Amino acid sequence: MAERPLSPHFTVYRFAYTMVLSLLHRATGVALGVGLVVLAGWLIAAAKGAAAYDRYIGILGTGFLQVLLGAWLFALVFHFANGIRHLCWDAGVGLEKAQARRSAWIVVVLVTVVTLALLYAFFVARAVPP
């Protein structure tokens, strides 16, 4: 018997950007799970009072965690947009190869624009004094 995968595997298929979106959808789901722990910590700190909240916000304000917050924002926007794409597929819309590729590009462009706009609104526009 030949040594081959028992089921289709990503090494069997030719690389396509739709494959990347599928893998990224799974990865952003995991990242959002981790981000939920940070959100829960923020809510717990807020419930404990002003001193605990200020400490937690101080920790979240560090450079590395600011980058992580931006990555979680991207994960949220991407997972939401790509999830809508998957819901359309569940309804039987956009299943043809050309339609799937077009919707993939729409997701990429939409996620890029929305993420950059939100990053600007949350991190740049708030930092500029009135």
Tens digits of residue pLDDT in 103-116: 999 999 999 999 99
Express each pLDDT in 1-30 by its tens digit.
567 666 666 667 777 788 889 899 999 999
**What pLDDT is recorded for position 14?**
75
Cα separation, 130 vs 119, in Å, equals: 18
Q: Which amino acid is at 124?
A: V
What CATH number is attached to the domain comprising 59? 1.20.1300.10
Cα separation, 126 vs 99, in Å, equals: 39
CA of residue 51 relative to chain centroid, distance: 31
| DSSP secondary structure code for residue 130 in this structure | -
Question: Stretch 98-125: mean pLDDT, rounded?
Answer: 94
**What pLDDT is recorded for position 1?**
52
Q: Domain containing 47: what range?
A: 34-124
**What pLDDT is recorded for position 72?**
96
- The 10 Å CB-count burial string (b at 16+, else e) for 64-89 is eeeebbeebbbbbbbbebbeebeeee
Q: Is residue 4 part of a domain?
A: no
Three-state secondary-structure class, residue 7: coil
Which has more confidence, 9 or 94? Answer: 94
Cα separation, 112 vs 106, in Å, equals: 10
Q: Is residue 18 part of a domain?
A: no
* Residue 128: pLDDT over 80: no
Three-state secondary-structure class, residue 62: coil
**Number of domains, the chain:** 1
Q: Is residue 93 part of a domain?
A: yes
**What pLDDT is recorded for position 79?**
97
Express each pLDDT in 30-86 by its tens digit.
999 999 999 999 999 999 999 999 999 999 989 999 999 999 999 999 999 999 999
In the block, residue with structure tokens 């991407």: 78
